[in-house]
Structure 1
């Protein structure tokens, strides 16, 4: 996050990597542990059909592209990295030099096709024939400017595919059913979860925006970099992106508590079929973020589904003793929290208490990677310019 930067600044991948052994440092503290809050004070309302009429016409006008088509046309090459200096380092990759050093675009959330479909019988977790890492980004209109749009990056993670990735612009449908268009989504996209065909993107003050990964639209390139949506000629441009992903609906957050939730990051818990969220707050001194203890809340999907019910009540809510939290993950009643400011990863279970581990600077979201044949992993990433590593560590290094 731009304000946060002022506060601080195995897998079948085909990239050759060098590793560095780092010893995990941990401390246990019963005093520094989450406490329970009334979960029923947090609810969601879901609308998966808000843009049905607009999207139907956009689809018939522009046509859709499946994942294989998108990745066959991937235009960027991922790069090798060494260990970012954390214990349990397993694997990872970097973006190309322009993306690694761009002062207007910042990576934030992380999820994967393994979140979407599970590990599968072949332990590959492929969606549309590809094993993918998905990273969300926000874009500013100038270096240290205002947020102007958001996007995702799909990264091939199969040894049988090239080391490539593709950028897809996130857009909100506008206009009318007879003359549909779309516009930019200027959100932070601080967290992202892929479950089935649905992509859930954190919308800081509101909850989540929902997209369908089967609805990727083809757009025209060749326009100017500031052109977005339907032009007078009937051509559709998207800042020269060849593909856009239109929003299909919204997941709105509500609370009876005195403070509304700040949706800073989210993560999928496949075991319980839920999304967990966490707030970025400060102990004191912040002007753009709350100065209070943060919360983490769990919202369950409908039983056996990858969608939320029309109304959903949280099943777990926690008051947290840590601050500047950019990432969260949960699996089998265990929790992990990433503090970018403290450069620490916190692990907690109700049974064993909390533990603190050394972590990376500029750390962002976390995604749990289930593995049927090797150790489970925690995937994360760094937003720091010039050091935007996307990396995985063995989960057992950070809590049993």
Structure 2
């Protein structure tokens, strides 16, 4: 895909929180917990997804081909709202797994739900930022946790890394091997969550003078470029910027490519795009974009290229969010956010190409 020149926004990667994460792992190991990675987590999924049989409900929209819903307590939860979605495609995980992000309307931050599609089971994992106290206080070095407070409107799972969108701040990055089990006696506040995933580093957003800072509202990985590209989009109304930007990744590490100055700069794929964009997936140069229209209206699905979209109206349930493509099944997966109207659903990509 031909790209334009960088347009005045950039990301700088922070140092890794190696000492803090290792200290957390050591503390939890002392109490019988610690690092379990994806293997340990997928062997301990405590909740069950429910299949929604089509066309048992008209609320799913015109283009939904497969749908699952959460347990009742999650389906109706007024304090946690689902947002982002990604897959285990081209990771080391051998099972077919969807990961979704949620943000809290209380003070609990954000979390990831890992869904085993074959077993239809899932578990929530709290995203955290570990910190170390100053040993000069006389009490020795101790570990504390604070919840990651981010809207988490989009997530991308690429190799060992899970990236979490943080709107104007850029995005945060975890390693899935750092999933840890927290025993009850560890003395850490996790709001009842038995598993946590610590943030390793951040990609901090900045902008040149006169350029509006890029909002990381949602993210996806375009695997049809070599190497893959991280595509970022902005949710906005008619008075806000609504841009699509593309960051190249490094073939060796899978992380963002950087210039000689260590900074990552995106190319602008398009500006003044669709209003109320919620998520996108890019397949062989074609963009698929969800847009929402409130709790009482179906969502739309737009297909095409920046500046030239065809719209499938009433394509999804009310409140569609992020979007991701699963190549082996040719399904585009998304999820809806409103309490009582929450599904994780798949749509046939080829069917959506027919204008």
TM-score, shorter chain, exceeding 0.5: yes
Q: Supply the distance in 2 between the matched residues of 1:330 and 1:41 (Cα, whole angstroms).
A: 23
Q: How does 1:140-219 map to 2 (within 5 A)?
A: 140-141=105-106, 148-158=108-118, 162-176=119-133, 178-219=141-182
Name the TM-score, length of structure 2 as normaliser.
0.85
Any stretches of 5+ residues in structure 2 without a counterpart? 29-33, 135-140
Residue 67 of structure 1, CA deviation: 1.7
1:54 match: 20
1:226 match: none
1:31 match: none
1:102 match: 77
Matched position secondary structure for 1:53:
helix
Q: Supply the distance in 2 between the matched residues of 1:67 and 1:50 (Cα, whole angstroms).
A: 20
Q: How does 1:1-400 map to 2 (within 5 A)?
A: 38-47=5-14, 49-62=15-28, 63-83=34-54, 84-114=59-89, 116-117=90-91, 127-141=92-106, 148-158=108-118, 162-176=119-133, 178-221=141-184, 235-256=187-208, 257-272=210-225, 273-283=228-238, 291-308=239-256, 309=258, 310-341=262-293, 343-349=299-305, 353-358=308-313, 359-360=315-316, 361-371=318-328, 374=329, 376-399=330-353
The 8 Å contact of residues 134 and 152 in structure 1, kept in 2 or not, is answered as yes
The 8 Å contact of residues 153 and 322 in structure 2, kept in 1 or not, is answered as yes
Q: Supply the distance in 2 between the matched residues of 1:67 and 1:293 (Cα, whole angstroms).
A: 37
Any stretches of 5+ residues in structure 1 without a counterpart? 1-35, 118-126, 142-146, 223-233, 284-290
Query: 1:296-338: CA deviations, max 9, x gaps?
Result: 1011111343112342221343113311111122122111221
Name the TM-score, length of structure 1 as normaliser.
0.76
Moved more, 390-399 or 100-109: 390-399
Q: Check 1:148–1:69 CA distance in 2 against 1; reply closer, same or farther (3 A cut).
A: closer
Residue 38 of structure 1, CA deviation: 5.0
Equivalences, count: 324
Query: 1:202-228: CA deviations, max 9, x gaps?
Result: 001111000000001111238xxxxxx
Q: Supply the distance in 1 between the matched residues of 2:112 and 2:319 (Cα, whole angstroms).
A: 19
Residue 39 of structure 1, CA deviation: 3.1
Q: Supply the distance in 2 between the matched residues of 1:128 and 1:60 (Cα, whole angstroms).
A: 25
Q: Supply the distance in 2 between the matched residues of 1:194 and 1:335 (Cα, whole angstroms).
A: 19
What is the CA RMSD across the aligned residues, in angstroms?
Answer: 2.2
